Amino acid sequence: GAVVSQHPSWVICKSGTSVKIECRSLDFQATTMFWYRQFPKQSLMLMATSNEGSKATYEQGVEKDKFLINHASLTLSTLTVTSAHPEDSSFYICSARGDNNYGYTFGSGTRLTVV
């Protein structure tokens, strides 16, 4: 089946630094990548949608300059949290969708803690 590899699984960083999270589709071409944020005991909150080779589309209220998304290839998308602050601490999850299927395949998530 479809597999999405997400790294790192957890990261601790200092306030003001930037953190990059990677998602790779291992056995299919991810024409669309979705990035979610999840707070404890809550549902998935869509942050942005990116199509390979295009600029990401951000959801209302999500700062595009703070959460930089790159989807330069059909197998790799990255989310960079710039100038991180403690309130950015959260669980970030990517999801990928190929061109010929309905379903989304999720990564394993990244626990970001900003101290």
Partner 1 sequence: GENVEQHPSTLSVQEGDSAVIKCTYSDSASNYFPWYKQELGKGPQLIIDIRSNVGEKKDQRIAVTLNKTAKHFSLHITETQPEDSAVYFCAAGGYGNNRLAFGKGNQVVVIP
Give the binding site for partner 1 (CB under 8 A): 6, 32, 34, 41-44, 46, 49, 91, 93, 102-109, 111
Least distance between partner 1 and beta carbon 80 (Å): 19
Least distance between partner 1 and beta carbon 83 (Å): 26
Nearer of residues 16 and 111 to partner 1, judged by Cβ: 111
Q: Residue 6 pairs with which residues in a beta bridge?
A: 23
Cα–Cα–Cα angle for 14, 15, 19, nearest 5°? 70
| Pairing relationship of beta strands 4-7 and 19-25 according to DSSP bridges | antiparallel
Taking alpha carbons only, the member of 71, 74, 77, 70 closest to residue 99 is 74
Least distance between partner 1 and beta carbon 61 (Å): 16
92 and 37 in contact (C-beta within 8 Å)?
A: yes
Nearer of residues 44 and 68 to partner 1, judged by Cβ: 44
Nearer of residues 83 and 113 to partner 1, judged by Cβ: 113
